[in-house]
């Protein structure tokens, strides 16, 4: 059945692919962003998520102008997917990344819940595990990084994402809405597979992100599965492909770059260190786009 989905941040790197995936699966999407999206199937409502009034208004808006439809009344919304954000440190000053991400997410979740929308998916980040933007390279407490991990980042971007997860949890508790946070790994667009050989030549380069990645189309799949899976309350899911973004076996990466970190689970030869097992088990996530389909190895 067609779902009506309000999508924030659909004009961005990750959002544009996820929006396209949702539309291809037959769903209706309204993009909520400060910038337009170049997709003839999707309208953008220019909205600043840091302004709560605009967010309440946008989430209760028409989804499109279907010129020949009998009614232009706003229809019930099935889900909100919230990707709009400043996506790392060093784009804005630290207080701005924190303000925009933490207040923007608060505004989106609060408006969705108070407008009676029963499903909210938010973009969290692998940076919450505290390795990516740590002052100095840092060992995690264990591998693989899973959703039970006591996340403790030191940077303002990842801190905003941890706060957003707490906001999601509070509102899910408050009224029983399903709110799932996706801790997204490094997003790879289809044209970016050309970068992989350079990364293979310098295997330490992606150490801080623990060699994680998610194909942007697989991010579409996990988002849709999260929209379709009801009744889980508040949840966090890592969103990563099955393998790492390195051509070296996972055991070799650990031996060379994280020799002192305990490994808590038995890992497959190339298995991701940003565990996707919970998403596989609970959402039925099944990534389709390994880099091995697109990159030649010698």
Ligand X SMILES: NC(=O)c1ccc[n+]([C@@H]2O[C@H](COP(=O)([O-])OP(=O)(O)OC[C@H]3O[C@@H](n4cnc5c(N)ncnc54)[C@H](O)[C@@H]3O)[C@@H](O)[C@H]2O)c1
Q: Which residues bind ligand X (CB under 6 A)?
A: 9, 11-15, 33-35, 47-50, 83-85, 87, 100, 104, 123, 125-126, 184, 186-187
- Residue partners of 222: CB distance under 8 A and separation at least 6: 182, 214, 237, 239, 279, 283, 285
Residue closer to ligand X (CB basis): 184 or 267: 184
- Residue partners of 81: CB distance under 8 A and separation at least 6: 5, 6, 7, 8, 18, 22, 120, 121, 223, 227
Least distance in Å: CB of 73 to ligand X? 25
Least distance in Å: CB of 86 to ligand X? 6
Residue closer to ligand X (CB basis): 15 or 144: 15
Residue closer to ligand X (CB basis): 63 or 251: 63
Least distance in Å: CB of 241 to ligand X? 12
Least distance in Å: CB of 143 to ligand X? 19
**Which two tokens mark 66?**
């279907």
- Residue partners of 37: CB distance under 8 A and separation at least 6: 10, 11, 15, 16, 19, 31, 44
CA distance 91 to 111: 27
Beta-bridged to residue 188, according to DSSP, are: 215
Residue closer to ligand X (CB basis): 28 or 127: 127
CA distance 5 to 24: 13
Least distance in Å: CB of 30 to ligand X? 13
Residue closer to ligand X (CB basis): 39 or 251: 39
């Amino acid at each position: 059945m067609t779902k009506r989905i309000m999508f924030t941040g659909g004009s961005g790197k990750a959002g544009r692919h996820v929006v396209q995936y949702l539309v291809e699966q037959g769903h209706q999407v309204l993009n909520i962003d400060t910038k337009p999206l170049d997709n003839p199937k999707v309208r953008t409502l220019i909205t600043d998520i840091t302004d709560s009034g605009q967010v309440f208004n946008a989430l209760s808006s028409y989804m499109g102008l279907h010129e020949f439809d009998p009614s232009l009344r706003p229809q019930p919304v099935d889900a909100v997917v919230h990707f709009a954000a400043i996506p790392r440190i060093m784009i804005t000053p630290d207080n701005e990344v924190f303000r925009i991400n933490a207040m923007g997410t608060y505004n989106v979740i609060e408006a969705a819940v108070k407008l009676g929308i029963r499903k909210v998916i938010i973009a969290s980040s692998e940076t919450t595990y505290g390795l990516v933007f740590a002052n100095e390279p840092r060992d995690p407490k264990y591998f693989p990084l899973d959703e039970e991990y006591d996340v403790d980042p030191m940077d303002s971007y990842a801190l905003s994402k941890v706060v957003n997860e707490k906001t999601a949890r509070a509102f899910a508790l408050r009224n029983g809405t399903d709110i799932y946070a996706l801790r997204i790994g490094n997003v790879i667009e289809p044209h970016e597979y050309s970068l992989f050989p350079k990364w293979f030549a310098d295997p330490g380069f992606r150490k801080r992100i623990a060699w994680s990645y998610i194909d942007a189309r697989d991010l579409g799949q996990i988002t849709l599965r999260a929209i379709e899976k009801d009744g889980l309350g508040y949840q966090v899911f890592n969103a990563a492909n099955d393998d790492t973004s390195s051509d070296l076996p996972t055991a070799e990466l650990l031996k060379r770059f994280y020799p002192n970190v305990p490994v808590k689970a038995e890992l497959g030869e190339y298995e991701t260190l940003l565990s996707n097992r919970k998403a596989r088990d609970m959402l039925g996530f099944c990534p389709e786009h390994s880099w091995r389909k697109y990159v030649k190895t010698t």
